[in-house]
Amino acid sequence: MDKKQILEEVLERMIHDDVTIKFHSVVRSSDGAFKNASDLTRIDERRKKVLAAMVRQEQLRSALSARPTLSHDKLATILAKQDIELEQLRRRNRLLASIIRRTTEVASEGGQTFLREFMRKQIQVLDEFEEEMKAGGER
């Protein structure tokens, strides 16, 4: 394994484990791959990777600290609403898939004239679908 890959893995692990990234701490976390901090600072590519990881870690930490903590009940309510929305999206997906499937069947069976007749019959379903999509977006 080359040092570039080792460095990337060490930095990812440190971000994941929420270990503060500093040049010396990266050396300590590298299991001997890097002997001292100058192994990281004197090679421009390595230095930039460590600095970028520091910035990324700080952004993640500030994003996490800015989010308010929610109670278990509040999270359960949010999850229940998202489950309902997911089921609605699945129903819409099934409806669209059936319309496309049937349209393809009609087009292959009877050609353009038959397809126009079919689409006239289906316009109500499409209008209802559009109204449901609009109503879903207003929440």
pLDDT tens digit string along 39-78? 999 999 999 999 999 999 998 888 777 766 777 788 788 8
Q: Residues near 21 by Cβ (< 8 Å), separated by ≥ 6? A: 11, 14, 15, 50, 53, 54, 57
Q: What's the distance, Cα to Cα, between the start and end of the chain in Å?
A: 51
Residue 10 CB burial class (10 angstroms; 0-12, 13-18, ≥19): buried
Q: Answer with the residue of higher pLDDT: 120 or 46.
A: 46
List Cα–Cα distances, 96 to 18, 23, 89, 124, in angstroms. Answer: 44, 54, 10, 14
pTM: 0.49
7-11, 13-17, 78-82, 98-102: range with lowest mean pLDDT = 98-102
pLDDT at 106 over 80: no
Matching residue, tokens 């890959």: 5
